[in-house]
Amino acid sequence: MIGLVLVSHSADVVRGVTAMVTQAAPGVPVDGAGGLSGGRLGTDGLEIANALRRVLAANGREGVLVFLDLGSAAMAVDMALDELDPADRALVRMTEAPLVEGAVLAAVAAAGGAGLDTVTAAAERASTLPKLPRD
């Protein structure tokens, strides 16, 4: 099963989105890294690397999709990827999908047994879904 890693500048955001994902798609491996020590905002490449390792260990190494809250988190993910073995790094993909909607849609697709390409596509469709009713 494809796993998800959530990266945010806020630990509270990671906890909240993780709760949504686990309720929408129980059993999908999800972990995250958010915030810095002392409750400060920021991202930590080593914490992200640890989250990636935990999800890789939990999902049978089928692949991991990484979500970001802000673009600057991509630098921390890049540092985290440098901490992984090349074989593990090859299983990880980042997406520009919206963090909340994308993670929920990706988790539902993963729970249905979809592969990494399909899970990524499900997440990225989230940016085009309307939030308000259309007339």
The more confident residue out of 39 and 100 is: 100
pTM above 0.75, yes or no: yes
3-class SS at 86?
Answer: helix
Over residues 40-87, the pLDDT tens digits come to 999 999 999 999 999 999 987 899 999 999 989 999 999 999 999 999
Place of tokens 């990484």: 66
pLDDT at 135 over 80: no
pLDDT band of residue 127 (cuts 50, 70, 90) is: very high
Model pLDDT, residue 60: 74
Q: 23-47: string of b/e by CB count within 10 Å (b at 16+)?
A: eebeebbbbbbbbeeeeeeebbbeb
* All domains in the chain, ordered by first residue: 3-128 (3.40.50.510)
Q: What share of the chain is helix, strand, coil (3-state, %, to 5)?
A: 55, 15, 35
Model pLDDT, residue 134: 85
The sign of the dihedral angle between the CA atoms of 1, 55, 5, 104 is positive
pLDDT band of residue 25 (cuts 50, 70, 90) is: very high
**In the predicted model, what is the mean pLDDT of the chain?**
95
